[in-house]
Structure 1
Amino acid sequence: MFYWFLKFVAIGPVAKLVFRPRVEGRENVPATGAAILASNHLSAADWIFMPLSLRRRVTFLAKAEYFTGRGAKGALRRAFFSGAGQVPIDRSSATAAEGAIRTGLQMLRQGRLLGIYPEGTRSPDGRLYRGKTGVARMALETGVPVVPVAMTYAPRRIPFGHKLVRIHVRFGEPLDFSRYEGLAGDRYVERSITDEIMYEIMTLTGQEYVDVYGAVVKRGMDATGASAAEVVSRLQPPSDEAGHRAPDTLAG
C-alpha cells in the first residue's frame, strides 16, 4: 500500500510535474508475469523514475545499508525503502552476492518485475561499465525475458535562468535467452549473455562503454585520488588493442 501511496500521491505527481520525464517503449515491458529490467545506473534517482514510468510495481535489490540504523530515523528509513519496493541485500562478499542472486530468483518466481543494475554500482563518470553476470544467471535459471532500460539525464532551462534536469527513460525490446536453456552455471555463457545485455543498454543510452567493473574503478579512485579516466587507463590496454571496445552482441 505504501508503495502505491508514494508512486501516485506523495512522490510521483510532484516528480512528474517538476522533471517531466519522457518515456519510450512502455509496450516492451510485459503486462503480466516476471521480467528483468536491466538498466544503466547514473543517479541515485534512477530507482524513482524507472518505476514512475510503469503502472506495474517494480522491485529493486538494494544495499542492506539502506535498511540499517537505530532509533526513529532508522525505523523511518527501513519503512521508506521497504515501502518503495526495495529488498535488502548484502553486497560485501562473494557469499553475499550469491544470497542476492537467490533473493532475485525468489522475486522472479513470484512473478514480479525485478529492477537490476548490472554494473553493480553507479557510474563514476557517466560512462557505461562492465556488467556483472548475476543478471544472466537469473535470466537463465528462470527463463524470464530481460528488458534493457536506458536512463539519461539532460539539463533544461527554466524561467529566471535556472536549470533543471530532464529525464528520459527508454525501454528496449525484450531479450530472449531461451537458446541457452540448460546452460545456467556456464560462466562463458553467462558472460556472453551479460555482454549482450550491456550492448543493448549501450545502444539505447549512447554511453561510451568501458570494459572494466565500475566498483574496481571506484576503489582505485578512493585509493589513489585519481580520476575515473586515469584509473581506467591503468586497468585497460591501449584503445587500439582492446580499450573502449563494445560488448559483443553476437558473442556465444
Structure 2
Amino acid sequence: MTGADEEPQDDAAVVSPQRTKRPGFVYFLGYGIMAPIARLVFRPTLTGRENVPKTGPVIFASNHLSFIDSIVIPLMSPRHVQFLAKSTYFTGTGFKGWVSRTFFTSIGAVGVERGAGQAAQVALDAGRGILEAESAFAIYPEGTRSLDGRLYRGRTGVAWLALTTGAVVVPVGLIGTQEIMPVGSKRPRIRKFTVAFGEPLDLSGHGSADSGKARRQATDEIMAAIHGLSGQELAKTYNESPPAGTLHRLADKVFPRERV
C-alpha cells in the first residue's frame, strides 16, 4: 500500500495499475478460510466494526507497524477491502507463482507495475479507481512502516482521494502487529493484536481537493482520529529518509513540500 505500499518508494516506482476488479471466488474462498483461522490462532481484539459502512466507497486509513498489517486489515474488516501490491506478486510462474498469486488475490490485493514515473500519483489514481467502483480501499497515510512505533505525520494523498471521490474515511488503529512480524523476520509469531475501526469521517467540509490547505487540514483530522485509536507517541515529522546534503536539508526547511 502507498501511503499505498508498505515499503518506501525509490527510483523504481509505480507506473501502471492493473484494472480494478470486483472480488471473485478466490477472494471469498480465501477470506472464508483465513479469517476464522486468524481469529482462532491470534485471538485479536476487534472494536468498532459497526462503524464501517456496509455499502459505498470507503477509505480505510490506518497506522502502519508491520508488513502483516496488509493482511490483518482485509481479514478483520467486515467488508471486502482492496490495497495495492507489487505486480510481481501476481506474475510469477510455476507452483510458487501460483501460491503467491492465489494468496494476494485472496486478501484483496491489486497489482501495480514498477518503473520510472510519478509513483505517488499513479498509485493514488489506482485507489481512485477502486473507490469509484463503490469499493473499499486501504491506505497508510504515513507512507511506510513506523520502525520506532511512533505515529508520523500523514501525507495528503489520503485527503486527495477522499475529497476527489466523496468517499468517507474510516480511521483504523492497529496495536501489537509489530510483535507478530517484526522488521526483518520471515515468519509470523503468534501474538495478540488489536484492530480498532473508528467512526467514519466526512471530510467534504474542508473544501476542494485542489486546495492544499483543505488537503492538509483533512489529513490532520484523519491522523488525529488514528492517534485516538492507536495511542501512539506522535513523531510530528514525516516518516522518510532525511534529505541528502546540506543544501537539500536547507531547501526542505525553507520551502517545505507537500508529501503525497
8 Å Cα contact 2:174-2:230 kept in structure 1:
yes
- Determine the structure 1 residue equivalent to 2:234: 209
- Determine the structure 2 residue equivalent to 1:145: 168
Q: How far 1:65 moved relative to its partner?
A: 4.7
Q: Secondary structure at the match of 1:42?
A: coil
Please, which of 52, 64, 80 is the counterpart of residue 103 of structure 2?
A: 80
Q: How far 1:97 moved relative to its partner?
A: 1.5
Q: How far 1:150 moved relative to its partner?
A: 0.4
Q: Percent identity of the aligned residues? A: 47
Q: Secondary structure at the match of 1:124?
A: coil
Q: Output the CA distance in 2 between the equivalents of 1:139 and 1:72.
A: 39
Amino acid at match of 1:189: A
Whether 1:118 and 2:144 are equivalent positions in the alignment is no
Amino acid at match of 1:58: V
Q: How far 1:91 moved relative to its partner?
A: 7.1
Moved more, 131-140 or 183-192: 183-192
Whether 1:4 and 2:28 are equivalent positions in the alignment is yes
Q: 1:62-84: CA deviations, max 9, x gaps?
A: 24453454544234323321232
Q: How far 1:18 moved relative to its partner?
A: 1.0
Q: Give aligned pairs, total.
A: 213
Amino acid at match of 1:173: E
Q: Secondary structure at the match of 1:185?
A: coil
Q: 1:37-70: CA deviations, max 9, x gaps?
A: 1001111221222222233111112244534545
Q: Output the CA distance in 1 between the equivalents of 2:118 and 2:41.
A: 42
Whether 1:193 and 2:193 are equivalent positions in the alignment is no
8 Å Cα contact 1:91-1:100 kept in structure 2:
no
Q: How far 1:200 moved relative to its partner?
A: 1.0
Q: How far 1:3 moved relative to its partner?
A: 1.2
Which 5+ residue runs of structure 2 have no aligned equivalent? 1-24, 181-188, 245-252, 254-260
8 Å Cα contact 1:90-1:100 kept in structure 2:
no
- Determine the structure 2 residue equivalent to 1:224: none
Q: Which has the larger radius of gyration?
A: 1
Q: Output the CA distance in 1 between the equivalents of 2:145 and 2:81.
A: 19
TM-score normalised by L of structure 1: 0.75
Please, which of 202, 210, 213 is the counterpart of residue 176 of structure 1?
A: 202
Q: Secondary structure at the match of 2:176?
A: strand
Which 5+ residue runs of structure 1 have no aligned equivalent? 157-162, 221-236, 238-252
Q: Output the CA distance in 2 between the equivalents of 1:49 and 1:137.
A: 25
Q: Output the CA distance in 2 between the equivalents of 1:119 and 1:70.
A: 33
Please, which of 35, 53, 61 is the counterpart of residue 84 of structure 2?
A: 61
Q: How large is the Cα RMSD of the aligned pairs?
A: 2.6
Q: Secondary structure at the match of 2:219?
A: helix
Please, which of 23, 31, 47 is the counterpart of residue 24 of structure 1?
A: 47
Query: Counting helix residues as a fraction of each chain, which structure ranks higher?
Result: 1
- Determine the structure 2 residue equivalent to 1:166: 192
Q: Output the CA distance in 2 between the equivalents of 1:185 and 1:65.
A: 33
Q: Output the CA distance in 2 between the equivalents of 1:7 and 1:17.
A: 14
Q: Output the CA distance in 2 between the equivalents of 1:102 and 1:178.
A: 19
Residue 208 to residue 93, structure 1, CA distance change in 2 (3 Å)? farther
Q: Output the CA distance in 1 between the equivalents of 2:41 and 2:106.
A: 23
Please, which of 122, 128, 134 is the counterpart of residue 105 of structure 1?
A: 128
TM-score normalised by L of structure 2: 0.73
Q: How far 1:203 moved relative to its partner?
A: 1.3
Q: How far 1:128 moved relative to its partner?
A: 1.1
Q: Secondary structure at the match of 1:165?
A: coil
Residue 68 to residue 216, structure 1, CA distance change in 2 (3 Å)? farther
Q: Output the CA distance in 2 between the equivalents of 1:21 and 1:4.
A: 21
- Determine the structure 1 residue equivalent to 2:153: 130
